[in-house]
Amino acid sequence: MKKTSIIAEYIWMDNVKPTAKLRSKSKIIPGPIKRVADIPLWSFDGSSTNQAEGNFSDCLLHPVYFVSDPVRGNSDILVMCEVLNSDGTSHPTNTRAVLKKVATKYQKQEPWFGFEQEYTLYCKNRPLGWPEYGFPHPQGRYYCGIGIDEVYGRPVTEDHLQSCLKAGIAVYGVNAEVMPSQWEFQLGPLPPLELADQLWLARWLLYRLGENHNVYAKLDPKPMPGDWNGAGGHTNFSTKAMRAKGGLKVIETACKKLGKFHKQHIAIYGADNDKRLIGQHETCSIHQFRYGVSDRGASIRIPAMTAHAKRGYLEDRRPAANADPYQVLTALLETTCGQGFDPKKYNWEPQVEI
Ligand code: ADP
Ligand code: MN
Ligand code: MN
Ligand code: MN
């Protein structure tokens, strides 16, 4: 193939508290790119992202995963990066480096993850399509609705779906959610690092395409107080043993173990998740842990199909829409495949105290 210059969009997580957001900038590099190792290291001003002091401000961008850029097209690419200190060591905000180690440790158990990303589309300071005064019709008609009187923002979600597929992101499905202008896309099932990298890139695409449609997506777990559903990040999980004959027993053992580490998991399942996990609107209270077949009011749901087949996967319903998948997957792997998860081991600050 002819050598040309391409545009690489370097994407990374910042250190905004309490929830890291994405940053990105463009670099012109020789292409086309075939392997991630051929994408050059780059740097950025860490003092502008809360990742360094002004007098020692350089942080490094280490490319770790890439997909083709569906917005620019051509041979352009979107590049997920780990943030390194200027000496090449892993930055404290680099949660991906932790998941990478943990995923390698439990690779033999062949873990797969699927993530349900709920989000709310906003225009100005209101959810898209909500009246300037008062409220929309109460919930009940919007979930999987059709027609502009039922759902708001389909052109955005459709653009996002097509773009993700063009990029090679493993979208599983899309649906309109219970609260008007709330939507969901699902990814997976995939191995841990691929799933988490693709999720961050799919989030970036959602924000980027929102610019074209004059709307923005919020991952706030409880955007509207009152009788409106919150936004979750249900995390579906299985190992080879769970998917094999007799897997239901392995799933039940995992559920019992997850109950023992509930507080440790909740600590990193997203800021403001206490406003969402209130025992209403298809959630279990943040102060309880329950698992059950087909139970959407439980912390962990065992899908009916899994119970019938006596093998399959479990759904952790606790993570909030704004959770960092690198952290969530680390916790699930350490608790179910290993001895248990403790955020202190990685100096991860609690996002919610219970
Ligand atoms: P829900 O009924 O909870 O709304 P969805 O249909 O929205 O479920 O999402 C199902 C999720 O389960 C998808 O993200 C998919 O990738 C994931 N999934 C399916 N099979 C498996 C599996 N064997 N292991 C892990 N995740 C899985
Ligand atoms: Mn779903
Ligand atoms: Mn949902
Ligand atoms: Mn779900």
Q: In b/e form, how buried is each residue of 195-222, taking b as 16+ CB within 10 angstroms?
A: bbbbbbbbbbbbebbbeebebbbebbbb
Kindly state the average pLDDT of the residues 219-239. 97
Per DSSP, helices labelled H in 168-271 are: 192-213, 240-243, 247-260, 262-266
Kindly state the average pLDDT of the residues 137-144. 95
State yes or no: pLDDT of 1 exceeds 70.
no
State yes or no: pLDDT of 342 exceeds 90.
yes
Write out pLDDT tens, residues 175-193: 999 999 999 999 999 999 9
Please state, in angstroms and as integers, the Cα–Cα distance from residue 160 to each residue in 71, 185, 200, following that order: 10, 9, 13
- Pairing verdict, β 300-302 and 291-293: parallel
Q: Whose CA is nearest to atom 4 of ligand 1?
A: 116
Looking at residue 128, what is its pLDDT? 97
Looking at residue 343, what is its pLDDT? 98
Looking at residue 17, what is its pLDDT? 95
The ligand placed nearest to the CA atom of residue 244 is 1
Domains and CATH numbers, the chain: 4-93 (3.10.20.70), 103-346 (3.30.590.10)
Could you identify the atom of ligand 1 that is nearest to the CA of residue 188? 16
Residue 354: pLDDT band (50, 70, 90) is confident
Residue percentage of the chain with pLDDT more than 90: 96
Secondary structure tally for the chain: helices H, strands E: 9, 14
CA–CA distance, 98 with 145 (Å, rounded to integer): 40
Mutate to test the pocket of ligand 1, among 116, 183, 310 (most ligand atoms within 8 A of CB): 116
Write out pLDDT tens, residues 34-55: 999 999 999 999 999 999 987 7
CA–CA distance, 195 with 52 (Å, rounded to integer): 28
Write out pLDDT tens, residues 96-112: 999 999 999 999 999 99
Write out pLDDT tens, residues 282-337: 999 999 999 999 999 999 999 999 999 999 999 999 999 999 999 999 999 999 99
Q: Whose CA is nearest to atom 17 of ligand 1?
A: 114
Write out pLDDT tens, residues 311-322: 999 999 999 999
Q: Which amino acid is at 237?
A: F
Model pTM? Answer: 0.98
Looking at residue 2, what is its pLDDT? 65
CA–CA distance, 227 with 120 (Å, rounded to integer): 15
Q: Which amino acid is at 109?
A: Q
Looking at residue 353, what is its pLDDT? 86
